[in-house]
Amino acid sequence: MAKTALVTGILGQDGPYLAKFLLGKGYKVYGMVRRYSNPNFDNLDFLGITKKVEYVEGDMTDESSLITNIKNIQPDEVYNLAAQSFVGGSWHQAKLTTEINALGVLYLLNAIKLFSPTTKFYQASTSEMFGLGNTNGYQDENTCFHPRSPYGISKVYAYWTTVNFRESYGLFTCNGILFNHESPIRGIQFVTRKITDGVAKIKKGLADKLYLGNLEAKRDWGFAGDYVEAMHLMLQQEKPGDYVVGTGESHSVQEFVELAFKYVGLDNWRNYVVTDPRYKRPAEIHELKAKTDKVKKILGWQPKMPFEELVKTMVEADLKRYEH
Ligand code: NAP
Ligand code: GDD
């Protein structure tokens, strides 16, 4: 019989890539969506799988909706990708971020514990939990957490709740501690997509400036399509565990900008980019860089798309969008 997976956050960036990957493996995929005024299936449309997913309603802040879904579906696997995932916005909506990202995970795990305890659970943890923490310039599974945003703090709660349900109740729960991963369907507020969208608009004569914050911050950027494979692998192991997933390389925002402008033949990016204090954060993380020995050794996973190709792929997709 086909395995079943419930994916929360199905309409975001990772949800569609994961759903596509699972569908390819023969899974029946349920996607949880919250109540919307206007449905937005653009990301699933982009990957051509909108009609292949079965949708159920639910909200991470509404425990009863999570219980109903777990009870009805009894999924083999739950991938909890739902979150208020924008770090910059988390200072303005700290309570909501905490309710969705932290308490939501407690509700979901409780539902699994009570109504479907053999379900395997994946939690979308993040390198934002490390914040200032690092081990000789890298972050791995043993690096201390020192989050720098309400988002990072909410994810630390969720991380430990996931570990605690494993240790207390014997549930099969895993944390994927993923570093930044991007794609042509990355949300427009995140810096990579903001840059590639801005570059495409400037190239097409639809804008003349791109307003950005801190250009010096460095991130470990990979491709979302590669990272969902690691999520799946975690739940196929004999034992549950927590894994850092990244590329092991870091690049500055400025490097991303330079490459994106260069790709469309605009060599002097400084003519277009304006630094705007509105996009600077009250507390910044200067650099994140993954040490990925564990995920390579135990899951046999490694990223496939190099940084330059990622930038190129995203710029090309945005140029295409403005051709219509
Ligand atoms: P994303 O594009 O922001 O997608 C998040 C999804 O969560 C959206 O579909 C959103 O629904 C849904 N959501 C938000 N609040 C909800 C609620 N109250 N109830 C139910 N669903 C809700 O994020 P992503 O980039 O795909 O990331 C997926 C997960 O991985 C997130 O948990 C994120 O924190 C984590 N993560 C991401 C990265 C990364 O670099 N992308 C790295 C590490 C960890 P709507 O579409 O209705 O808004
Ligand atoms: N968004 C944004 N907009 N960021 C900017 C800008 C800007 O105009 N200018 C500079 N930056 C800098 C930010 O200050 C940050 O240092 C870096 O670019 C990356 O910002 P984002 O793309 O917003 O991502 P993030 O690193 O804060 O968070 C993403 O990755 C995390 C994993 O480390 C999100 O996907 C999180 O959900 C995820 O957990």
Cα distances (angstroms) measured from residue 264 to each of 257, 258, 280, 316, 318? 11, 10, 27, 9, 11
Ligand having the closest approach to the CA of 9: 1
Q: In whole numbers, what is the pLDDT of the chain averaged over residues?
A: 98
% of the chain surpassing 70 pLDDT: 100
Asked whether 12 lines ligand 1 (CB < 6 A), one says yes
Residue ranges of domains in the chain, CATH in brackets: 4-181+221-245 (3.40.50.720), 187-219+250-286+306-321 (3.90.25.10)
Asked whether 178 lines ligand 1 (CB < 6 A), one says yes
Asked whether 82 lines ligand 1 (CB < 6 A), one says yes
Asked whether 295 lines ligand 1 (CB < 6 A), one says no
Catalytic: 126? yes
Taking only the tens place, the pLDDT of each residue in 245-283 is 999 999 999 999 999 999 999 989 999 999 999 999 999
Catalytic: 308? no
Mutate to test the pocket of ligand 2, among 157, 186, 218, 219 (most ligand atoms within 8 A of CB): 219
Going by alpha carbons, the residue nearest to atom 11 of ligand 1 is 9
> What pLDDT, on the 0 to 100 scale, is given for residue 312?
98
Integer Cα distance of 286 and 219 in angstroms: 8
> What pLDDT, on the 0 to 100 scale, is given for residue 270?
98
Integer Cα distance of 190 and 175 in angstroms: 23
Integer Cα distance of 248 and 290 in angstroms: 5
Ligand 1 closest atom vs CA 14: 26
Q: Would you say residue 95 has pLDDT above 70?
A: yes
How many CB atoms lie under 10 A from the CB of residue 214?
17
Q: 3-state class of 31 per DSSP?
A: strand
**Within the chain, how many helices (H) and strands (E) appear?**
11, 13
Across the strands, what pairs with 222? Answer: 181
> What pLDDT, on the 0 to 100 scale, is given for residue 38?
86
Query: Residue holding tokens 């204090």?
Result: 277
Integer Cα distance of 198 and 276 in angstroms: 15
| Contacts (Cβ under 8 Å, ≥6 apart) of 294 | 140, 141, 243, 244
Across the strands, what pairs with 28? Answer: 4
* For residues 213-240, average pLDDT: 98
How many CB atoms lie under 10 A from the CB of residue 36?
10
Q: Which amino acid is at 155?
A: K
Query: Residue holding tokens 């759903």?
Result: 19
324 — pLDDT class (breaks 50, 70, 90): low
Strand order in the sheet with 120-126: 54-57, 28-33, 4-8, 77-80, 120-126, 173-178, 242-245
Integer Cα distance of 119 and 172 in angstroms: 7
Taking only the tens place, the pLDDT of each residue in 39-61 is 799 999 999 999 999 999 999 99
Output b/e per residue, 147-181; b: 16+ Cβ within 10 A. Answer: bbbbbbbbbbbbbbbbbebbeeeebbbbbbbbbbb
Asked whether 89 lines ligand 1 (CB < 6 A), one says no
DSSP string of 64-133, one letter each residue: HHHHHHHHHH--SEEEE--S---TGGGGTTHHHHHIIIIIHHHHHHHHHHHH-TT-EEEEEEEGGGTBT-
Mutate to test the pocket of ligand 2, among 85, 86, 87 (most ligand atoms within 8 A of CB): 87
> What pLDDT, on the 0 to 100 scale, is given for residue 36?
87
Going by alpha carbons, the residue nearest to atom 1 of ligand 1 is 12
Question: pTM score > 0.95 for this model?
Answer: yes
